[in-house]
């Protein structure tokens, strides 16, 4: 990639889990605000392609990048593709994550826990490591911003549903705080958003497709949120408007 190509894409962003839900909404909004976006997916290439088509139809720049974020070799190849196609990234949204079926702790398997932490925690740490290697002034970068997608579950614990998911998101909160302090003097800001009850497909994957409607009475605002509302917070944290904001855990939860 030549200097002219790099100049074309001064704002390069990678969104993991960008083919649906909060990730897709973030990719679309960021593209409208001038970011060149790499849309990561694990298996659903058709959904990722549709996000990219929508971005390009609006005049934006986007590519798809396939990788299971829990697999180091795949993550390394993904970042190499972003480097080659778009240039050095200055934004990362660690959005890829999974839940599992509703269960008590005494019904859960170790295999379930390993999957939960491999994807939700180690995957985020892997991607953040590669992003820091590109963004940090310590490594010759020009700075950047990382936004981790945590969850209000890290505060609430999700008893009787998925305490393992809540524990994984608690780890993301701690990781956000520690990494923010570690790289603050190197031009890299690290923050997290903690969505509450949001209307996305993740609830169906956990066996609770009507979860938002069933629990919205517990939300002071008396409704679930939208992926777009979370995306607004994420893209703000990525932007220069948040230039003095790091180590923040921003709740987007309707007061819950």
In whole angstroms, give the CA distance from residue 22 to residue 226: 8
Which residue in the list 9, 162, 165, 244 is annotated as catalytic? 165
Q: Where are the alpha helices (DSSP H) in 118-185?
A: 123-135, 153-156, 163-183
In whole angstroms, give the CA distance from residue 210 to residue 207: 9
The phi, psi pair for 147, rounded to 5°, reads -120, 120
Rg of the chain, C-alpha, whole Å: 17
- 3-state SS string for 80-103: HHHHHHCCCCCEEEECCCCCCCCC
* Cβ neighbours of residue 185 closer than 8 Å, sequence gap 6 or more: none
In whole angstroms, give the CA distance from residue 54 to residue 31: 10
Any idea what DSSP says for residue 121? I
9 is catalytic: no
What are the percentages of helix, strand and coil residues in the chain, rounded to 5?
50, 15, 35
In whole angstroms, give the CA distance from residue 143 to residue 92: 12
Q: Which residues are catalytic?
A: 165
């Amino acid at each position: 990639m030549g200097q002219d190509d790099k100049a074309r894409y001064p704002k390069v962003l990678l969104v993991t889990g960008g083919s649906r839900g909060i990730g897709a909404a973030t990719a679309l909004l960021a593209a409208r605000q001038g970011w060149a976006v790499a849309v990561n997916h694990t298996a659903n290439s058709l959904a990722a392609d549709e996000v990219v088509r929508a971005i390009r139809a609006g005049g934006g720049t986007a590519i798809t990048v396939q990788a299971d974020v829990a697999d180091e070799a795949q993550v390394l190849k993904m970042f190499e593709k972003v480097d080659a196609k778009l240039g050095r990234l200055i934004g990362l949204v660690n959005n890829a994550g999974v839940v599992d079926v509703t269960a008590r702790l005494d019904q859960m398997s170790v295999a379930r826990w390993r999957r939960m932490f491999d994807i939700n925690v180690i995957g985020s740490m892997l991607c953040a490591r590669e992003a820091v290697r590109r963004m940090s002034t310590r490594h010759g970068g020009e700075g950047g911003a990382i936004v981790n997608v945590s969850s209000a579950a890290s505060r609430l614990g999700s008893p009787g549903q998925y305490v393992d998911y809540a524990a994984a998101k608690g780890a993301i909160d701690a990781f956000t705080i520690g990494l923010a302090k570690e790289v603050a003097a190197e031009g890299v800001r690290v923050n997290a958003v903690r969505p509450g009850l949001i209307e996305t497909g993740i609830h169906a994957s956990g066996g609770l497709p009507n979860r938002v409607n069933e629990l919205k009475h517990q939300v002071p605002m008396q409704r679930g949120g939208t992926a777009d509302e979370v995306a607004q917070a994420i893209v703000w944290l990525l932007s220069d408007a948040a230039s003095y904001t790091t180590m923040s855990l921003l709740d987007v939860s309707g007061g819950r």
